[in-house]
């Protein structure tokens, strides 16, 4: 089975062709991502209206590229998967409309996908891991521990009660004058910084459970920055690197300790081959990856992190999540709705309503 996937829920327009192999893993035949960073750079964040227009303009180009790179004609596909939410509604609508047009025109099945399920199913695409596995989904808009026990069945163990870590990385970058998206910038500067230069909080570690908080951490960085500016009139390169390193270390510590607790909970169910997988844009961060890898090594759990290109938004994960739903017997009609909000740990009434 081979699916075309479309992704347009935030600031990346993407199309990909993915085949499901007999062993249950996926093979990515093409994965095209057209980022919009340059369009939003002047505004210091993603502007929804600009994003929606850019998606509408770029989707067909990305689809053409993905098909020709994969050597597939539309008619040779087995279905079209599209992100139906959550995300910026204008972008999601562009993708859903494009997918409906393609599916209707070519007479192909249409499968709506939860963007977060795309991230969460990535370890099955890359490594064919079996359910149930523990997942840390950590991205620009989300941060949660989930036990994935089926393509559409997720149990949430906890998550952030305010900002997502990606959002915190982006805000820290902004207040240090670094470009967006901030994660890779902060990670790069952190490499030449001292993690002990500033003592930043580790929020909620004193409380039981897997819930996390990152907004206070960003405020602590702001205060530390203002302190240096008040004292010396500005930030040196080294100050900035030290702030980045101290901030990143605090995020690493919180994620590692909360992951340990989530793992303990997951291991109580005695899974046959325990797996802890991380996904989402922030999982591209090398310090975070290695912190979690060490934790898993100590606990005798297999650790999986996607290749860097599959951490941030892409359409290969959407094509794959669509394949998983389709193999499970699901597809959608022309009434598939675009949903700005769509939590992963509950099945979508919209999709249930139109699912066949």
Q: Which residues are documented as binding site for Fe cation?
A: 115, 119, 313
Q: How far is the CB of 9 from ligand ATP (least distance, A)?
A: 6
- Asked if 26 is part of the footprint of ligand ATP (rule: CB under 6 A), the reply reads no
Contacts of 121 (CB under 8 A, 6+ apart): 148, 151, 317, 320, 321, 324
**Considering CB distances under 5 to 8 angstroms, the limit depending on partner class, which of Fe ion, ligand ATP, none binds residue 170?**
ligand ATP
Cα distance between residue 278 and residue 284, in whole Å: 9
SS3 73: coil
Q: Name which of 87 and 322 has its Cβ closer to ligand ATP.
A: 87
For Fe ion, which residue has the nearest CB?
313
Q: Name which of 100 and 119 has its Cβ closer to ligand ATP.
A: 119
- Asked if 139 is part of the footprint of Fe ion (rule: CB under 5 A), the reply reads yes
- Asked if 48 is part of the footprint of ligand ATP (rule: CB under 6 A), the reply reads no
Q: How far is the CB of 106 from Fe ion (least distance, A)?
A: 27
Token pair in block for residue 85? 């939410």
- Asked if 163 is part of the footprint of ligand ATP (rule: CB under 6 A), the reply reads no
R_g of the chain, CA atoms, integer Å: 20
Site for Fe ion in 150-179 (CB under 5 A): none
Q: How far is the CB of 68 from ligand ATP (least distance, A)?
A: 25
Query: Cβ of 45: how many Cβ atoms within 10 Å?
Result: 13
- Asked if 259 is part of the footprint of Fe ion (rule: CB under 5 A), the reply reads no
State which H helix or E strand residue 320 sits in.
helix 316-327
SS3 159: strand
Eight-state DSSP code of residue 107: T
Q: Name which of 139 and 348 has its Cβ closer to Fe ion.
A: 139
Q: How far is the CB of 104 from ligand ATP (least distance, A)?
A: 27
- Asked if 184 is part of the footprint of ligand ATP (rule: CB under 6 A), the reply reads yes
Burial class (CB in 10 A: 0-12, 13-18, 19+), 247: buried
- Asked if 169 is part of the footprint of ligand ATP (rule: CB under 6 A), the reply reads yes
Eight-state DSSP code of residue 151: T
- Asked if 313 is part of the footprint of ligand ATP (rule: CB under 6 A), the reply reads yes
Q: Name which of 313 and 324 has its Cβ closer to Fe ion.
A: 313
Strands (E), the chain: 2-7, 12-20, 26-35, 79-85, 110-114, 133-138, 143-150, 153-159, 275-279, 302-304
**Considering CB distances under 5 to 8 angstroms, the limit depending on partner class, which of Fe ion, ligand ATP, none binds residue 183?**
ligand ATP
**Considering CB distances under 5 to 8 angstroms, the limit depending on partner class, which of ligand ATP, Fe ion, none binds residue 24?**
none
> Residue 83 in contact with residue 7, Cβ under 8 Å?
yes
Give me the residues that bind ligand ATP (CB under 6 A), please.
Answer: 10, 87, 115, 119, 139-142, 166-167, 169-170, 181-184, 187, 280-282, 284-285, 312-313
């Amino acid at each position: 089975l081979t699916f075309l996937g479309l992704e347009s829920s935030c600031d990346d327009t993407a199309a990909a062709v993915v085949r499901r192999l007999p062993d249950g893993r996926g093979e990515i035949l093409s994965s095209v991502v057209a980022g919009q960073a340059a369009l939003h750079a002047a505004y210091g964040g993603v502007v929804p209206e600009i994003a929606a227009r850019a998606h509408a303009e770029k989707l067909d180009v990305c689809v053409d590229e993905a098909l020709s790179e994969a050597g597939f004609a539309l008619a040779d596909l087995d279905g079209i998967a599209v992100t139906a939410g959550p995300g910026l509604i204008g972008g999601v609508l562009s993708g859903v409309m494009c997918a409906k047009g393609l599916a209707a025109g070519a007479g192909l099945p249409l499968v709506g996908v939860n963007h977060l399920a795309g991230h969460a199913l990535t370890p099955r695409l890359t490594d064919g891991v079996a359910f149930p596995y523990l997942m840390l989904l950590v991205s620009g808009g989300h941060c949660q521990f989930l036990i994935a026990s089926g393509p559409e069945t997720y149990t949430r163990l906890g998550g952030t009660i305010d900002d997502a870590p990606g959002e915190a990385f982006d805000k820290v970058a902004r207040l240090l004058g670094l470009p967006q998206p901030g994660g890779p910038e902060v990670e790069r500067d952190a490499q030449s910084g001292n993690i002990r230069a500033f003592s930043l909080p580790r929020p909620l570690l004193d409380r039981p459970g897997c819930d996390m908080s990152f907004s206070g951490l960003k405020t602590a960085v702001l205060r530390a920055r203002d302190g240096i500016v008040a004292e010396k009139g500005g930030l040196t390169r080294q100050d900035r690197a030290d702030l980045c390193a101290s901030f990143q270390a605090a995020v690493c510590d919180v994620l590692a300790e909360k992951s340990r607790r989530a793992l303990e909970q997951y291991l109580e169910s005695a899974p046959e081959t325990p797996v802890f997988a991380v996904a989402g844009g922030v999982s591209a961060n090398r310090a975070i990856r290695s912190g979690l890898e060490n934790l898993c090594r100590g606990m005798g759990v297999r650790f999986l992190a996607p290749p860097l290109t599959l951490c941030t938004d892409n359409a290969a994960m959407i094509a794959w999540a669509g394949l998983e739903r389709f193999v499970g017997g699901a597809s959608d009609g022309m009434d598939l709705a675009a949903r700005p909000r769509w939590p992963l740990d509950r099945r979508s009434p919209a999709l249930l309503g139109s699912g066949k």
